[in-house]
Structure 1
Amino acid sequence: MWKRALDRAGVGAPRLRRDYTEQRRAVRRFAPAEYAAARLLLPAGLLPHVVAAVAFMHETDDRIDRGAADERAAALAEWDALVRKAFAEGDSELPVLRCLTRTAERHPEVRGHVTDFLRGCAYEVAWRTIADDGELDRYVREYALPALMLTAGLLAPAAPSAREAFTAHCHVLIRAMQRLDFLEDLAEDVRAGRPGVPADAVARHGADLTRPGPELGRLVAEQADRAAADLVAAAPLVGVAAPAYRPFVRALTGVQRLRLDAVRRAGPALAARGSGPSAPRAAVLLLGETARARRGPRTG
């Protein structure tokens, strides 16, 4: 199946085929559920390019996520220069960038998404706290949405008006996803000194982010409700996507609902541990979408 995917993606050179295969192994290792969804629900010819985009995003995050703010900023500047050089020369010493440049040749819009993402990484490197929902939305607009569009942009409709609507719904979806990220990772983020739950909400509930308690429970419930509202508002994304991509988009949004359920169940316990979607329920969701896709195209 993978060799066929490489053929359909236009990846013919032996070195590039090895490069894409290396990125596939990496993505399967750090994002097994997401890879399984892409493998089962996306057209074969798109899979290697999605793999390349996800691998690049992960490599970027890994490079800029360690050390003090100035060290992270320096790592970003170095990485940005390597990416620019790869695009300018159409080649790189790094397999992840060789794949990225090849994917951008086949899908020219990727280059713009890469530029937006790297620009947003400066915001990701610099922030320490999220003051309120307005600042959360800025974080999403500056960083989280460009990160999502590295892959979602490959699924966007060609018509400008439909693409605009697609991106707008992606914005709402990633805002819900980011709010869930900050709740799931609350204990880890507090230890790192970078809690992402809006500070005004923490103060409003009088919550102690380091200890379970009723105040933290009310904070989590409020933030979960806001994520739920965004998931409802993002529902039209499935209908905007091209029919071939709708099973994958449905699975993606369905997994967010499972994440939301897990956050609600964890409640104040998020001060001590993370949470995530139920693996059995996620498997059922993925298998259901796979069966639905095999039955034939649907309209919603």
Structure 2
Amino acid sequence: MGRWERALDAAGVRETGLRADYGRQREQVTRYRREVAVAAGLLLPERTVPHVMAAAAFMHRTDTLLDSGPFDRRRAAADRWRQEVTTSLAEGRTDDPELRPLLHSVAARPVLRDRVLDYLAAADADLDFTGFATEEDYQRYVDGYSLPGFMVVAALLGPDGDQSAYRAACRTFIDASQRLDFVNDLAEDLAEGRLTVPEDRLARHGVTRADLEQARDLPAVRALLGGLLDEADRTLAEAGAVVDLVPAAHRPMVRCIVGVEALTSAAARADLGGLLHRSASPAKPAALRLLAREYLRARKHRR
């Protein structure tokens, strides 16, 4: 029996059709975030892995609805999806194979229910996004959208019972991670008509939107991007405290999540001009070393 089949057994997924539903969601997560699927399978306790796959697949489907097609179609699709999920959670049943794993995981890990509802309620913050005038606008976006989204999966890794201190630490982490994502995905976002750098930050550095859209590799542009990465790194260093707030069995995965962000930031910093054209990725040798180190820690914990 393979590790995935053992994980399904450990998570109480017995029915053949439901196991197939979970399997399809694992394949979905592997296609769009292979590194997450691999790390979860290697680093997390088997009983946790299927629930993380279900939560990640739900997030991906929701994100896709929010990002695909004309605005009116996206809003209508988001409203239908919100109603379908909310009704399914209230009734405890669904005919949608994409939702059956989520409902099973909510029953097994009740903390997930409110986090799913929080994220659905936050969807309008992304649909209504038009950019940030100030840093305060960015911070409201983190509170209103980024954190609820992150907590869908993060809640499954946190402590049992009261998660208030853990949520606060997750907020620090997602502040760093979202800022890093906005810098790293700058070229892609601009190509889609989204400027994710606050306007007051542009003005402070004497940089215009046109400078970024036309990929002008100017000293001021490099100073802007480097300064944003500095802020992300400082916040990420503070976010390392989140590791001590999760159960010991989940610490290798959480250390890996934080570590990958640090490696991504280093890769972005190494080619600031390149960010005007493409996203940076962590160096593969460093990422593999991080994964191997945390895998050895995870194995020691299981003994």
**TM-score higher than 0.5:** yes
* Aligned residues with identical type, % of pairs: 40
| 1:228 partnered with 2:233 | yes
User: Which segments of structure 1 move beyond 6 Å, counting only runs of 4 or more?
Assistant: none
Counterpart contact for 1:238–1:249, Cα < 8 Å? yes
Does structure 1 residue 254 correspond to structure 2 residue 259?
Answer: yes
Q: Which whole-Å deviations, capped at 9, do the CAs of 1:220-249 have from their partners, x for residues lacking one? A: 110001001111111111111111111111
Give the CA deviation at 1:69: 2.9
What is the rounded CA distance, in whole Å, between the counterparts of 1:225 and 1:218 in structure 2? Answer: 10
SS in 2 for 1:276: coil
Which of 35, 38, 56 matches 1:36? 38
Q: Secondary structure at the match of 1:19?
A: helix
Aligned to 1:280: 285
Aligned 8 A contact 2:86 2:117 in 1: no
Q: 2:118 is matched with which residue?
A: 116
Question: Any residues of structure 2 matched to 1:80-159 within 5 Å, and which?
Answer: 80-159=82-161
Structure 2 gap segments, 5+ residues each: none
- Give the Cα–Cα distance (whole angstroms) in 1 for the partners of residues 157 and 144 of structure 2: 20
Deviations 1:267-298 (A, max 9, x none): 1321112212122211110011111222348x
Tell me the secondary structure at the aligned position of residue 240 of structure 2.
Answer: coil
In the alignment, which residue of structure 1 is the partner of 2:299? 294
Residue 195 of structure 1 and its aligned partner are, at CA, apart by 1.5
Q: TM-score, normalised by structure 2?
A: 0.94
Residue in 2 aligned with 1:203? 203
Secondary structure of the residue aligned to 1:4 is helix
Q: What letter corresponds to residue 215 of structure 1 in structure 2?
A: A
Q: 1:75 aligns with which of 77, 93, 100?
A: 77
SS in 1 for 2:159: coil
Per-residue Cα deviation, 1:58-97 (whole angstroms, up to 9, x for no partner): 0011111023333322111011111122223323232221
C-alpha distance after superposition, 1:7-47 (max 9, x if no partner): 11011111101100110111111111111111111100010
User: For residue 135 of structure 2, what is the amino acid of its counterpart?
Assistant: D
Name the CA distance, whole Å, in 1 between partners of 2:76 and 2:299: 48
1:175 matched to 2:175: yes
Is 1:57 equivalent to 2:59 in the alignment?
Answer: yes
Task: Identify which of 22, 25, 28 aligns with 1:26.
Answer: 28
Give the TM-score normalised by structure 1. 0.95
Match of 1:270 among 275, 289, 293: 275
> Relative to 1, partners in 2 of residues 1:271 and 1:250: Cα closer, same or farther, differing over 3 Å?
same
| Contiguous gaps of at least 5 residues in structure 1 | none
Q: Quick one: distance in 2 between partners of 1:194 and 1:91?
A: 38
Kindly tell me: are residues 40 and 133 of structure 1, through their superposed partners in 2, closer, same or farther at Cα, counting changes over 3 Å?
same
Deviations 1:197-219 (A, max 9, x none): 22211121122212222111001
* Cα separation, 1, equivalents of 2:181 and 2:276: 14
**SS of the counterpart of 1:274?**
coil
**CA 1:77 to 1:253, structure 2 compared with 1: closer, same or farther past 3 Å?**
same
- The residue identity in structure 1 corresponding to 2:53 is V
Aligned residue pairs: how many?
295
